[in-house]
Amino acid sequence: MEKIADIELTSIDTMDPKPRSFANNANAILIQEDDVETPYGNIHVAIQGDRSKQPILTFHDIGLNHITCFQGFFSYADMQPILRNFCVYHVNAPGQDEGALHLKPEHDALGNPDSLGSRFVFPTMDQLAEAVHHVVEHYGMKTFIGFGVGSGANILARYELNHHERVDSLILVNPTCSKSGWIEWGYQKMNSWYLFSGQLTNFTEEYLLWHWFGKKTRWTNHDLIHTYKEYIKTINPQNLALFIETFLKRSDLGIVRELDPMRKVSARTIRCRSLVLVGDDSPHMSDVVDMNGRMLPEQTDFMKIADCGGMPLEEQPGKTCEAFRLFLQGMGYVPSLTQKHSVAAEYNQLNSLENKLTPLTC
């Protein structure tokens, strides 16, 4: 039996992988950052891309901002050909952007704090939707594609209900259309109490990680969880508490799936083309299914992403990017872009072709 010679891998250099980071990279090109004044506070907007292109407007979830919620996804390699055709406007809720200072209370004409007390009056969910409208007016957007996650998806859905003519389409990740339940109310009240006192406790950290990722991802993606644990330490606790309280006090969207053709004309519902996304292990699955059941089926695409928890943009960017591309192509955008075929995909395609061929018999 022939002896197999030993192979020494002496010419191969090993490299330690770089840790995940929210630091800006070459793909995350921001050409402008503004603070847009609105009646509900200053809104920090980060613009990515050519402003002459069709706008995509994003809104983040509680505890996040445009960097921690969207940077990883929009920096993904497969997203770059898509982004060349759009300009992205990342909208941050008041006091939620990176390095934000404490939100200060309003003052009267004499410079004294207002009569409502020393706490900043954070806008309601409906007022945040109107703040988005001021941003849209400020940049002169005729129509835009909305991209919201969690509470941001709820805000953009409210905006569409009031300004349907400005919304071209919506991509909603983990959206909810109902009021907060008793369990959510209890957990969030406890969180806001700790946060208002300036504490970022283990209780708050655990709840935020569950809200973003769910249970399964906590034990299967340690690198991602560690990155967000480090990020939680940088959050302004008082500002986050204000946003949590606003989300907790949200009203029901009041949308209905009306099947009667006569009543459908006047029914309160989201009328633009929409894509609803959720991970199959998302902690918000029941809320997403409820909202999908109250939207028009002919205008709504529902997609559950496999092997994914509550943050598909970070956990499964490839699958989410493909769903995003196909949705845009259904709207008439980027028609020339195609999926990159892997070797395995081409092999499977060849096998399916061979199975269709029938052998000739004599």
In the chain, beta strands by DSSP E: 32-38, 41-49, 54-59, 86-92, 144-149, 167-173, 273-279, 300-305
Measure the CA–CA gap between 103 and 123, rounded to whole angstroms: 12
Q: Confirm if 170 and 58 have CB atoms less than 8 A apart.
A: no
- Asked whether the beta carbons of 313 and 339 are under 8 A apart, the reply is no
Give the H or E element holding residue 315: helix 312-315
Burial bucket for residue 48 (CB in 10 Å: 0-12, 13-18, 19+): buried
DSSP letter at 69 equals I
**pLDDT at residue 19, rounded to an integer:** 57
CB atoms within 10 A of CB 2: 4
At residue 63, what are phi and psi to the nearest 5 degrees?
Answer: 85, -5
Residue 276: which of 294, 256, 254 has the closest Cα? Answer: 294
Identify the pLDDT of residue 261. Answer: 86
Record the tokens describing residue 93, joined without a space: 């809720």
Rounded-to-integer distance, Cα 284 and Cα 153, Å: 13
What is the token pair recorded at 206? 């655990």
pTM, full prediction: 0.84
Q: How far apart are CA 233 and CA 227, in angstroms?
A: 11
The residue type at 175: P
* pLDDT tens per residue across all 362 residues of the chain: 566 655 565 666 655 555 556 555 544 567 789 999 999 989 999 999 999 999 999 999 999 999 999 999 999 999 999 999 999 999 999 999 888 888 877 544 334 444 445 567 899 999 999 999 999 999 999 999 999 999 999 999 999 999 999 999 999 999 999 998 888 888 888 888 888 888 888 989 999 999 999 999 988 899 999 999 999 999 999 999 999 999 999 999 999 998 888 888 889 999 999 999 999 999 999 999 999 999 999 999 999 999 999 999 999 999 999 999 999 999 999 888 876 644 334 334 434 433 444 344 34
The answer to whether the beta carbons of residues 108 and 114 sit under 8 Å apart is: yes
Answer for the pair 19, 49: CB distance below 8 angstroms, yes or no.
Answer: no
End-to-end distance of the chain based on CA atoms, in angstroms?
Answer: 46
